[in-house]
Structure 1
């Protein structure tokens, strides 16, 4: 058990590593299994069509997940602060309120994309053979939003009270089971028909649901002092949770919107960058999708250090240990930056190998075609450019989570609205308009520039801002 609550004087570096490492592993496993999921999907019929379809559906479905992280952060901040004060009954109430919001928001965010899956897919660039699988994937994943939200809520509550091993088991188990179901559902067998891309979506929904229920059972039994026997509406606590969570939700929405408008501008830029390629848009979307999946392995692994920072900040502020909260954040940031450098070097040195694993090896394997060569070349360029921004992303991931753990979410929202909205959108649009000169790499360079600017502002605010004086009621 990875408890941190009662080891106040343990060396902070050791505490951060001990608590954060299982979270990093859990997040990394999730991304690894997502890559395996993409690898399996790419083996089903036309790989560029399957990958493009899953990319579009995954990006849209990621919106509610990313937004809901704001509510999870708010719940975590309340639970960690109460736990740090020794008020476990109050922490249990906060968990119950988080679960109420989970159920309500799963309906709010799941129903619209389920109903409008096809027009959403088309609006994001799905064309021809991509439309049907993208629509099916998005509709199924949206209908299963509640399983995703419950798993995030349960693991967030456990992290808040200082346990990082059980979230590792739940998240890792869900992802491993997802891969097993992928093979069965996509290709059929044992009485099930071949479902293709839709099967990948069903596998994810079922796996998440099973392990979310397992986590709920632990909380119901009073695991680590958190007991959720009564789910009564507490207006004041819901308002506190929303006051912290809504700015964080919008912040995550802005981040996700940046990926979505980049996907949209890929559609605009591809014909200009590849004027002699008939399937330029589909190939570019496939390359971008592979790049995003590889990015997610680095980014979501970094969320493990961010989650550690959020918990340690919340608990130490609850005890009045502001100095320890600040130092824990810097330690988590240093660990994440070092890890991101390793990821960046790996992606640059082994880009060809990684793209080959995804089914787009040049002239070899199931995807051997002119399209495979194009996707491979575009994917390699993406990895070379995007990897240079990983260390800047490390800063934003950890410090934004640390601030969320303190309940200070308004200024981070302002940072990201300005950077990714007011500056990032027109900059990316300009890069797309000039794709004939710069190719698709102009889009990737624009993203790296914004990541750098955001990192600088976060460091300055964390160092000189008043976030540590934020009160939570």
Structure 2
């Protein structure tokens, strides 16, 4: 079945994984990106449907999820960093034609991810209530949020299994299989969620915890599929028992790549949260406008994440193959292409800002502020997309520290201080301008580091020495 799926994808896209090293760079980027962009759009659709069903449970349930989601995201980011570090190495080993090292890296990544998931699950369950109290959740909300968190933490290993199923294949150059896994996973989640929440048919009524149960169950399906594929050595990735024995020297090196990745993933939502205390004094209307505006940016830049992932795959494999000229060409076309696309999206957003604001709210004063937020930030969309593309280059090249630093400068060190300063001069409008200036500054920092060439970091020889010593 997987072979048939992939052959169908090849017929549609006329794409070979060898094109990553030898094919036309621009065309290959498009072929790699499209399934990833589609996968991310599917995830956005799922999030919207999820909010629809949770909205049926009332405002307390929505408030509980608002507290629970950032906590789950933070815990997920820790493991995702290790998984993505494994993905970077798989891409570089693929480029270097180190077939055994691909399977060794995949196996070691799975081992440490499983161990980490058990620790984080236990730690999360124990600390859920104290964390919620620390975040200021009311006594009425805490039990509801905990009902969601306990199930989400219990299924952490399945969440990581889902991420592994996408990351490993994506970095080997197969973006079709992750797309089908995503469609199946979120399709199952969407189908199961109302049954688990409302107790339809023979299912018990679980309420908010049912949403978490549906999510964990769907990701369990993805994990099962991944186990089947990896056990058969699909796409050259084989999880072998002999390779699963923990190699702590390898873990140390894996952590050096993975910890900055975990931080980079966590910085973006932290940057948004850092703005909340700045806009809070201006009233609930401004807070609502900020929430809608930041959510819109998350939605509109979903395709940019997929393109960034494709760029990382191309960069990783070409670094592994010592073809740095193709990495530079990938950067030029990837950064340039995303800049132009999102600059055009920015123009459309500026033109239709009020219409877009009305999709999210009916309150006239909030609509006005959301439209203003979108019109000010719209002309920096190209720069923000370029940041995502540069992060893909740095990730794929193995310099995850640079990827983390670009995120840190853009979303925290630039945006928050500028917002604090300008808000005192221009109130909420100053915060909107902070987004504009921070996006441009972040893109310039990323361009400078790329131009300096410090992103070049071939990891495969170092990691191969570790595994060959076993």
> Normalization by structure 1: what TM-score?
0.83
Please say if residues 305 and 398 of structure 1, whose CA atoms lie closer than 8 Å, have aligned partners that are also in contact: yes
Q: 110, 124, 134: which is aligned to 1:99?
A: 110
Other-structure match for 1:368: none
Q: 216, 226, 230: which is aligned to 1:215?
A: 226
Please say if residues 391 and 406 of structure 2, whose CA atoms lie closer than 8 Å, have aligned partners that are also in contact: no
d(CA) in 2 for partners of 1:405, 1:323? 14
d(CA) in 1 for partners of 2:107, 2:137? 40
Segment of structure 1 superposing worse, 238-247 or 305-314 = 238-247
Q: 18, 29, 34: which is aligned to 1:6?
A: 18
- Structure 2 CA distance for partners of 1:172 and 1:382, relative to 1, 3 Å: farther
Other-structure match for 1:438: 427
- Structure 2 CA distance for partners of 1:28 and 1:336, relative to 1, 3 Å: farther
d(CA) in 1 for partners of 2:265, 2:294? 16
Please say if residues 165 and 222 of structure 2, whose CA atoms lie closer than 8 Å, have aligned partners that are also in contact: no
d(CA) in 1 for partners of 2:442, 2:275? 17
SS at match of 1:142: helix
Q: 382, 385, 394: which is aligned to 1:394?
A: 385
Q: 81, 89, 94: which is aligned to 1:78?
A: 89
Other-structure match for 1:366: none
Other-structure match for 1:15: 28
Please say if residues 399 and 457 of structure 2, whose CA atoms lie closer than 8 Å, have aligned partners that are also in contact: no
SS at match of 1:54: helix
d(CA) in 1 for partners of 2:71, 2:353? 26
- Structure 2 CA distance for partners of 1:293 and 1:424, relative to 1, 3 Å: closer
d(CA) in 2 for partners of 1:119, 1:382? 35
SS at match of 1:116: helix
The answer to whether the aligner puts 1:155 opposite 2:155 as a matched pair is no
d(CA) in 2 for partners of 1:218, 1:202? 25
**Which deviations, in whole Å up to 9, do the C-alpha atoms of 1:236-286 show, x marking residues without a partner?**
4323322222222223333332233334x27xx43x322xxxxx3xx7766
Other-structure match for 2:282: 273
The correspondence of residues 170-181 of structure 1 with structure 2, limited to 5 A, is: 170-181=181-192
Please say if residues 396 and 458 of structure 1, whose CA atoms lie closer than 8 Å, have aligned partners that are also in contact: yes
SS at match of 2:305: helix
Please say if residues 63 and 256 of structure 1, whose CA atoms lie closer than 8 Å, have aligned partners that are also in contact: no
d(CA) in 1 for partners of 2:52, 2:133? 24
Please say if residues 39 and 357 of structure 1, whose CA atoms lie closer than 8 Å, have aligned partners that are also in contact: no
Please say if residues 302 and 394 of structure 1, whose CA atoms lie closer than 8 Å, have aligned partners that are also in contact: yes
Please say if residues 416 and 434 of structure 2, whose CA atoms lie closer than 8 Å, have aligned partners that are also in contact: no
Other-structure match for 1:320: 322
d(CA) in 2 for partners of 1:256, 1:344? 22
SS at match of 2:456: helix
Q: 200, 211, 215: which is aligned to 1:189?
A: 200
Segment of structure 1 superposing worse, 310-319 or 442-451 = 442-451
Other-structure match for 1:301: 303
> Normalization by structure 2: what TM-score?
0.83
Please say if residues 385 and 444 of structure 1, whose CA atoms lie closer than 8 Å, have aligned partners that are also in contact: yes
- Structure 2 CA distance for partners of 1:240 and 1:20, relative to 1, 3 Å: same
Please say if residues 347 and 379 of structure 2, whose CA atoms lie closer than 8 Å, have aligned partners that are also in contact: no
Pairs aligned (count): 446
Other-structure match for 1:454: 442
Please say if residues 162 and 220 of structure 2, whose CA atoms lie closer than 8 Å, have aligned partners that are also in contact: yes
Other-structure match for 2:466: none
SS at match of 1:228: coil
Segment of structure 1 superposing worse, 136-145 or 31-40 = 136-145
d(CA) in 2 for partners of 1:284, 1:42? 22
- Structure 2 CA distance for partners of 1:145 and 1:290, relative to 1, 3 Å: farther
**Which deviations, in whole Å up to 9, do the C-alpha atoms of 1:199-249 show, x marking residues without a partner?**
322222221221122122111111011111221223343233222222222
- Structure 2 CA distance for partners of 1:66 and 1:355, relative to 1, 3 Å: farther
d(CA) in 1 for partners of 2:130, 2:356? 33
SS at match of 1:174: helix
The offset of 1:410, in angstroms, is 2.4
d(CA) in 2 for partners of 1:12, 1:150? 31
The offset of 1:460, in angstroms, is 1.4
d(CA) in 2 for partners of 1:105, 1:428? 37
Please say if residues 69 and 249 of structure 1, whose CA atoms lie closer than 8 Å, have aligned partners that are also in contact: yes
The offset of 1:327, in angstroms, is 1.0
The offset of 1:110, in angstroms, is 3.6
d(CA) in 2 for partners of 1:199, 1:461? 46
Segment of structure 1 superposing worse, 138-147 or 217-226 = 138-147
- Uncovered stretches (5+) of structure 1, i.e. residues with no partner: 275-279, 363-371
- Structure 2 CA distance for partners of 1:448 and 1:179, relative to 1, 3 Å: farther
Give RMSD over aligned pairs.
3.1
The offset of 1:345, in angstroms, is 5.2
